[in-house]
Structure 1
Amino acid sequence: MSEQVPQVAPPKSRKGLWIVAAVAALVVAVLAYVLVAGGDDDAEGATKVRLGVVGASDPYWKTFKDEAAKEDIDVEVVDFSDYAQPNPSVSEGEIDINQFQHIIYLADYNVKNDDDLYPIGSTAIYPLGLYSQKVDSVDAIKDGDTVVVPDDDTNQARALLLLQSAGLISLKDGGSPFSTLNDVESDSKVKVQAIKADLTPTSLPDVAAAVINNDFVEKAGLSFSDALVTDDASDPKAQPYVNIFAVRAEDKDNETYRKLVEIYQTSQPVIDGVQEVSGNTAEIVKIPDTDLEKTLSDVESQIQEQ
């Protein structure tokens, strides 16, 4: 019996190998393009937006995300520990938009950093309050007692104006949105110390009282109703203290970002959540961004003249 010789397939031509390699390379390239090009959209076509805030643990941000998802917007809420971080993060493209500041704060940032972040829409205005663990009225604060205020320029000025209206200090020339500790008259009733805004609540055991931003009141176990005194959020002069969404100037007409503003201003579940967190002290405002831009420009001019 003759030996069976196994049949061996003839080798593929060099041309055939090149075709296979080219097809494989094309498949890899297509897959890579899909992965990269999909960076702004998820698998279902929702537009992704990175939103920077201070206080992402507030429950209404989860509600806000859910409401945005109904409009095919996938919001990633990025939490920052203090006010100094969200604006540079927008400028550098690390996030797309932020919501944590009022107009004066943005104006101060733009001027000091030669930036042009833009107020794309208003959210709410909150009264600023004076709190204490040692006294139950402003009148009970004694001569020479120490009162703490936030150390960032804009909130510090607003806090000083509040202390002046409460009769605790006097400010040179009656005070302004740009007053500092240097403007506190020496014959004022109390001594004023400035510390980081997020540390003002923890100072309460050591001082007579502290001006505490709304963001930190309930997080410190306080109630808004505990405030000894607050400023008037409904005063027309308070518009520079309206909180806003801010974006890069080139993004001011972005329809997705504008939709987020609309959701914040009109979604009842979001509004209810904001009110709950603020102890019903927030006043939701719908100010045209052209008015916001004018207020920003005016305040920036005033800061430059300082």
Structure 2
Amino acid sequence: MRIKRTLATVAAAALATTGLVACSNESEDNATTTAAEGENTTIKIGTTEADQEAWTVFKDLAADNGIELDIVQFSDYSPVNEALAQGELDVNKFQHIKYLAEYNQSAGKDLRVVGSTEIVPLALFWKDHDSLDGIEGESVAIPNDPSNQGRAINVLVQAGLLTLSDNVADELAPTPSDIDKDASKVTVTPVDASQTPNAYNEGRPAIINNTWLDRAGIEPGLAVFEDDPNSEEAEPYINVFAARSEDIDDETLNKLVELWQTPEVEEAVAKDSKGTSVPVYRDKSELNDILDRLQDK
């Protein structure tokens, strides 16, 4: 893997003057040397969230453990996985499992999960309302992107507002055509995710994810309903660290997962998400099983 290591000794400093080459395709025996053995490790990690407080806490904690984080901030989701696949990053943390599965399928790649971080419930908002009372007959704005549309429909199913037809191809990712309109209490209007806050501000009920809640200044506590983060339907939306398949057992990358799951980072994540994030501690093999199931579908 392409991870830089800097020896914390005078001899190492002397070697550095002649140029140290980053490791590539190392054997597992030589993969990662920890700070306890006298070395610091530099990890190049990609994200779209580097401006959040959790990343500052995470970077400082990693440094305390001999890991220097070279954080690469992306303004858009689409290039982050490709940068990882091409070896420009060692790991990334910006996506849920479903998004990773969709990338692998469309790009023909085999990026894998290193570990879990948290899940953020997806919620229904309705301006000037604090319950679902009176929502029957309304048209609910939902995100139209593949990663969120199915989940948004399932939020409304869990709320008892939508009923799916009997022949749904994928119950974890239903589409508007899978809705039994006659048996449902509301209809849906798919829109670009960025437009869901506009629907809310116009007085229409809307499913809004946390990214756009924050940008629109809408308090998460105003939700009238949200999905259950512990349900099977929510599993695809567990946020993860991802790496190339040959690197998922790397000690340093797995150490980063441990550090993200410490109370210090989780407290900062909760602050960034305004209390909506739910930490997830799932075995790596379970997470990759979920990834495989999503890709098979």
Q: What TM-score, normalized to structure 2?
A: 0.80
1:122 aligns with 2:106: no
Secondary structure of the structure 2 residue equivalent to 1:138: coil
Code of the residue aligned with 1:282 in structure 2: it is S
Q: Is the 8 A contact 1:53 1:79 kept in 2?
A: yes
1:263 aligns with 2:259: yes
Counterpart Cα distance in 1 of 2:104 and 2:76: 17
Secondary structure of the structure 1 residue equivalent to 2:166: helix
Shift of residue 150, structure 1, vs aligned partner:
1.9
Task: Tell me what 2:179 maps to.
Answer: 184
Task: Tell me what 1:23 maps to.
Answer: none
Code of the residue aligned with 2:281 in structure 1: it is K
- Which of residues 43, 65, 70 in structure 2 aligns to 1:49? 43
1:137 aligns with 2:131: yes
Code of the residue aligned with 1:251 in structure 2: it is D
Q: Is the 8 A contact 1:135 1:141 kept in 2?
A: no
Q: Give a deviation string over 1:222-276, Cα, whole Å, max 9, x none.
A: 22211110011122553332211111112212222111111001x2210100112
1:293/1:203 CA distance change after superposition, 3 Å: same
Counterpart Cα distance in 2 of 1:121 and 1:53: 15
Counterpart Cα distance in 1 of 2:289 and 2:271: 31
Task: Give the structure with the larger helix fraction.
Answer: 1
Code of the residue aligned with 1:37 in structure 2: it is V
1:110 aligns with 2:94: no
Percent identity between matched residues is: 37
Gaps of 5+ in 2: 1-14, 25-37
Q: Give me the CA root mean square deviation.
A: 2.6
Task: Tell me what 2:11 maps to.
Answer: none
Q: Is the 8 A contact 1:110 1:117 kept in 2?
A: yes
Counterpart Cα distance in 2 of 1:68 and 1:100: 18
Matched positions, count: 267
1:157/1:64 CA distance change after superposition, 3 Å: same
Counterpart Cα distance in 2 of 1:39 and 1:290: 26
- Which of residues 237, 244, 263 in structure 2 aligns to 1:241? 237
- Which of residues 157, 160, 174 in structure 2 aligns to 1:164? 157
Q: Is the 8 A contact 1:146 1:209 kept in 2?
A: yes
Q: Give a deviation string over 1:99-119, Cα, whole Å, max 9, x none.
A: 122222222221222111100
Counterpart Cα distance in 2 of 1:174 and 1:189: 19
Secondary structure of the structure 2 residue equivalent to 1:233: coil
1:196/1:245 CA distance change after superposition, 3 Å: farther
Secondary structure of the structure 2 residue equivalent to 1:85: helix
- Which of residues 163, 166, 170 in structure 2 aligns to 1:173? 166
- Which of residues 66, 73, 81 in structure 1 aligns to 2:67? 73
